[in-house]
Amino acid sequence: MKKNKRRDDVGSTTFYRSDRYYSEMGSWFAKTREGDELGPFDSKIEAKEALQAHIEIILTDEAKVSVCH
């Protein structure tokens, strides 16, 4: 079955990922996919490091659960 393309459709679609890091009143924060906020931190680098540590903890916990089952 052939898909008909609408005249207004653009050839390629670009998707943008929202920034997980933001600054507020001189402090930096990071947002997790779950919607939690990490922070405040003194720098964006510290916020990135905290988010990376959070991701590693989540992945480790998921690996433990999959080994137990």
- Give pLDDT tens digits for 22-65: 999 999 999 999 999 999 999 999 999 999 999 999 999 888 78
Domain count, the chain: 1
Distance CA 64, CA 13 (A): 38
pLDDT of 6 over the 60 cut: no
Question: Which of the pair, 68 or 13, is modelled with greater confidence?
Answer: 68
Specify whether the CB–CB gap between 27 and 38 falls below 8 A.
no
Whether residue 61 is contained in a domain is answered as yes
pLDDT tens digits for range 51-60: 999 999 999 9
Range of the domain at 54: 43-69
- pLDDT over 80 at 2, yes or no: no
Asked if residue 56 belongs to a domain, the reply is: yes
In a domain, 13, yes or no: no
